[in-house]
Every structure is written in structure tokens, then in C-alpha cells.
Amino acid sequence: AQHTGGHYPMQEGEVFNTQYQVLHKLGCGTFATVWLCQDMRRKKQVAVKVLKSREGFAESAQDEVAFLRCVSCMKKKDLAGENIICLLDDFRMIGENGFHACLVFEVLGPSIRCLMGNYTAQGLPLPFVKKSLQQVLAGLHFLHKCCRIIHADIKPENILLCGCSKRLQRLLMATLHCDQGTEGRLKGAGGDLGNQLEESDLMSIEVKIADLGSACWTYKPFSKEIQTQPYRALEVLLGLDYGTPADIWSTACLAFEMATGECLFDPQPGKYFSRDDDHVARIIELLGRIPPQIVFSWNKSTKFFSRPGALLRLSRLFPRSLPGILADRHGWTPQDAAAFSAFLLPALHYAPERRASAAQSLRHVIMGIGPLPHILLDNWHRFDKALALHFTVKSQVT
């Protein structure tokens, strides 16, 4: 039926697949609605993602299941990947619009987007930003290198919190048990989570990468347009082949937004130019002219450029610098602004092959926090172990 927009028409008190009793909605995205359910067999709560039933969705659900199974399999093998959401089960349901693929996950907390609702004015505390970035990057390193998967939709909505301290778990559960939209502020049963969170709570939060619904294999040809506009990498915008570096670009956008409360790029269409035109212009304003050898190696480039450096429809650009924005607009100290820019800029390199990898960015974030003793950074085996250690030693995140 039209009115549900392809979403499954859930009845109150419904039991999915004779096993999952629906408690309430946890969130919804472009492709699915996610429900908190009581798993009557395992006697615990789970999150059931019910995909829309439109044509094409069943197929992409099969892909999502395949990516998640690959992640589970590699997790067992490499004893890593704890920063990626865990699939527990999957099944199909029939609704009035046809079949709905359903994925069962561990229950996680609200998304970074929800958390940021409470901090929009100034961004999240920097130590928390660094800590979550480490986890996102460790997750991406695992996805890229062990699973050979490009996530292709890194953004605040798809990074979910999971609480560690008992106090925090209680706070998060309180918010889980009141129906909230994905975009809304965190108004929990006990009030506004943002007001109850203390700095120490934030430091104990872990994050996981969720939503592999747009992912693709690194080694398979793909043509679909990926990523959500503000987080879309330059090569994707311009129609060039993309790979794992596209996720790193998005992560840089995510990092800036978490730290400042503002989008790094927030392109808008105008009377004479498209949203894509504006996006390319905003990128050039911040990161400088795109070298001609790159511009004209891209097959969509004539859509944007009349000649190297000259945009077709936008002639007046206002150059800005990243440290300048952080210091002037957001009041950061020059030292903090320089350190954060030194992490962001290599992750926003125009040439994907020269962009920092997840591992390199991770190293940068950690070194920015303070070098770890006794590690030979070029020795990857030992570095991975030290990283695992780092994640459990919370006091080091300052």
C-alpha cells in the first residue's frame, strides 16, 4: 500500500517469525525500520531491522546479509572487528506490499546523530571525538583489509553508541525505552540524556559501525552512486572509480562534524547550479584547486568544469582554510586547530590513491592523543595488539 511507503505495517504486540516480540521502534533510515524486540527463544532483547518491500530491496538485503556474514566469519578468524555491528539471525516476512527481509542484531544505543542533537552548538567533547574516531577507523581498517568491503555510507546516523559503564547502560536503556525518531534529540524516560551525561560517561562510550546496506566488495565492479551527499567523496561526485578511500573521505567529514557540530560540506542547489556543483565548489574553497591532470582524467568532469580550475556555473569562490575555520569560527586554540587539521587533510586528499588509509589515519589519531609506549609503529602485528590494548585502557584517552 502507498501509505506505508513500502515499510512493513507493524501491528502492536506483534511477534515476528514466532520468536521476536515487538516492544517499540528504535529508529528508521532510508531503507528500513528497526524495532526493539524480546527474543523469546534466547530470552534477551534484540534489534530487528525490517527492510522495505519495494522491488530491489530484497536483493540488496541479501547483499547486506552476505557482508554481515563475511564480517562475522572474519571476526572469528582474526579476533578483530569488534567495532562492526553483529548479525544474529535473518528471516523474511510477508506484508501487504510483499516480502520484507529482516535482519536481527545485538541492541545498540542511539546514533552519533542523536547524541549530537544535544551538542549542536559546540560539537562533542574532543577526547570523545578522538576515541570514537579510533573505533570507527579500527572498524574500517578491519572492513577494508580483512573483509574487503567498502562501507559506502559512513555518516553520524550509521555510527551507533554502546554503553560500557553500568550507569551509562542505564541511561542509554532509558532512551531506548522511549520512542524516538532518528533525528530527534535524546529525550529519555528520565529526561534529556544530554543533560544527564557527564564527561566521564562520554569517555566510557564505545561506538560501532552499523548499516552495511550500501556496502560493496572492493574487488567487484559497481556502478551505483554511493554515499549520502554531504559525506560523498570527490571521486564519487565526479563519477570516477572509487574504492576504500571513499570511506576515509566520509570519515573526515564525520570527524569535523562531531568536533564542531557543523557539516564540513553542506551543499545546497541554487537558481543556476545544482547541489553537486555547489558541493564541488565548497570542496575547492576548502581544499584548493583540483590539479588539471586529475580534473580531466574524470569522466564526469566536463559536467562541472569548463577548463581546469574553472567551474562551469560557479565563478566566485571564497577560499577558506581548515585551521582558520576551526580557530575563528569555532574558537579552537591554534594548536588544537593545527593538530586536528593535520589529521583531516590527509584523509581529504583529492587523489584516492594518495589519501590516508584507515590504518594511517588511525595512527594519526593515536599519535595526536599521545604516543603509546613500547610500540614499533611500523610493525603492524604488534601495532594491532597495542591498539586492542589501547581500547581497553580508557584512562589513556585524554
Angle (deg, nearest 10), helices 126-141 and 380-392:
140
- 67 part of the interface to ligand ADP, by CB under 6 A: no
Rounded to the nearest 10 degrees, how much is the dihedral formed by the CA atoms of 389, 395, 396, 397? 110
- Give residues with Cβ within 8 angstroms of 109, minimum separation 6: 160, 161, 162, 163, 172, 175, 176, 205
CA 396 – CA 18 distance, rounded (Å)? 46
CA 30 – CA 181 distance, rounded (Å)? 13
Q: Which of ligand ADP, Mg ion, none lies near 147, with the C-beta cut-off 5 to 8 A by kind?
A: none
Stretch that binds ligand ADP, among 205-213, 243-251, 280-288, 366-374 (CB under 6 A): 205-213
Nearest to 249 by CA among 269, 268, 228: 228
- 29 part of the interface to Mg ion, by CB under 5 A: yes
- 111 part of the interface to Mg ion, by CB under 5 A: no
153 a catalytic residue: yes
Which of 39, 64, 201, 211: binder of Mg ion (CB under 5 A)?
211
Which of 20, 67, 105, 242: binder of ligand ADP (CB under 6 A)?
105
Question: For the chain, how big is the Rg over CA atoms in Å?
Answer: 21
Return the number of the residue (68 or 238) whose C-beta is nearest ligand ADP: 68
Sign of CA dihedral 282, 287, 293, 298: negative
Which of 22, 32, 74, 101: binder of ligand ADP (CB under 6 A)?
32
| Number of C-beta neighbours around residue 309 at 10 A | 13
Cβ-closest residue to Mg ion? 29
The count of residues interacting with ligand ADP (CB under 6 A) is 22
- 304 part of the interface to ligand ADP, by CB under 6 A: no
Which of 37, 47, 104, 129: binder of ligand ADP (CB under 6 A)?
47
- 108 part of the interface to ligand ADP, by CB under 6 A: yes
Rounded to a whole number of angstroms, the minimum distance from the CB of residue 28 to ligand ADP is 6
Q: Would you state the cell numbers that stand for residue 384, as one nine-digit string? A: 594491532
- 158 part of the interface to Mg ion, by CB under 5 A: yes
Name the residues annotated as catalytic. 153
